[in-house]
């Protein structure tokens, strides 16, 4: 259980904010740069190589909505239509969201869209604009059951040291079933046991260079 008073804002090395969870002693993003990491892992090594015009995304750990706003920005730029599902066990209060400095740190940041993303109703489909549909689901990954299939999964859980239960193999088996054939799973994590688990669930695993400050990150393909 996460409590509001355990969350504080921290500045990362690229100037952008992240959140620090005192209880877990863990930040929401890399201390080397929150925006830099999100763009590198989830946009450049994630959605950017999915060539269809319509793309369904599942994010595990919706948090600040940083990956959602960056994905919206990507969709607008490349004229894509995204259906975005964000799983989150602890929706952040708006007092915290409003203090984040993404508006000054993301070029062409669309504040109206960011606000719309955060004001959208939980556990139902929301139309953000012609490029972006959003369903934020207030459930844990462990509880989440769906018949839907996704083209890409952004796995942005807290790291294995802070939240070991998010890195158990049965969750990757579950996520593998939720992916379309040809779909892909991306995460910042590059731990050996985790990669072996992904492989044994059926993923074809590729390691690519990580964002600044991290040697590697992981992509899992469902071929
Ligand atoms: C590393 S942070 C996420 C960062 C987020 N993508 C962002 O850019 O702000 C991990 C997130 O996972 C959420 N979380 C923790 N346990 C979860 C669970 N069992 N299922 C879904 N989300 C969970 C946390 O509340 C937190 O928001």
Span 162-203, pLDDT tens digits? 999 999 999 999 999 999 999 999 999 999 999 999 999 999
Residue 5 is predicted with a pLDDT of 72
> Per residue in 46-100, pLDDT tens?
999 999 999 999 999 999 999 999 999 999 999 999 999 999 999 999 999 999 9
Tell me if 132 is assigned to some domain: yes
Range(s) of the domain holding residue 53: 34-221
Residue 2 is predicted with a pLDDT of 55
Structure tokens at 86: 């964000």
Report whether residue 86 contacts ligand 1, using a CB cutoff of 6 Å.
no
Nearest ligand 1 atom to the CA of 159 is 1
Tell me if 149 is assigned to some domain: yes
Nearest ligand 1 atom to the CA of 144 is 20
Structure tokens at 115: 């606000």
Report whether residue 67 contacts ligand 1, using a CB cutoff of 6 Å.
yes
In total, how many domains does the chain have?
Answer: 1
Taking the complete model, does pTM exceed 0.75, yes or no? yes
Indicate the helix (H) or strand (E) that contains 21: strand 17-21
Indicate the helix (H) or strand (E) that contains 178: helix 169-178
Angle, CA of 59, 66 and 90, to the nearest 5°: 60
Report whether residue 135 contacts ligand 1, using a CB cutoff of 6 Å.
no
C-alpha of residue 132 to centroid of ligand 1, in Å: 21
Q: Is 25 left (phi over 0), alpha (psi -120 to 50) or beta?
A: left
Tell me if 49 is assigned to some domain: yes
Nearest ligand 1 atom to the CA of 18 is 9
Tell me if 170 is assigned to some domain: yes
Structure tokens at 146: 């769906």
CATH (domain of 207)? 3.40.50.150
Tell me if 12 is assigned to some domain: no
């Amino acid at each position: 259980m996460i409590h509001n008073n355990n969350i504080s804002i921290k500045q990362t090395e690229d100037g952008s904010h992240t959140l620090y969870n005192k209880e877990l002693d863990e930040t929401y993003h890399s201390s080397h740069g929150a925006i830099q990491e999100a763009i590198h892992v989830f946009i450049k090594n994630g959605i950017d190589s999915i060539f269809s015009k319509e793309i369904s995304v599942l994010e595990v750990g919706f948090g600040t909505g940083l990956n959602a706003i960056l994905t919206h920005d990507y969709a607008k730029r490349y004229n894509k239509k995204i259906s975005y599902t964000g799983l989150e066990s602890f929706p952040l209060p708006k007092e915290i969201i409003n203090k984040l400095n993404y508006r000054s740190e993301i070029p062409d940041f669309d504040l109206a869209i960011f606000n719309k993303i955060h004001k959208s109703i939980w556990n139902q489909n929301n139309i953000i604009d012609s490029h972006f549909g959003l369903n934020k689901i207030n459930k844990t990954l462990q509880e989440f059951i769906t018949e839907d299939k996704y083209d890409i999964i952004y796995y942005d859980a807290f790291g294995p040291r802070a939240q070991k239960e998010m890195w158990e193999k049965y969750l990757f088996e579950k996520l593998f079933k939720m992916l379309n054939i040809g779909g892909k799973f991306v995460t910042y994590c590059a731990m050996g046991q985790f990669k072996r688990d992904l492989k044994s669930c059926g993923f074809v695993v590729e390691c690519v260079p990580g964002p600044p400050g991290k040697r590697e990150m992981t992509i899992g393909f469902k071929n």
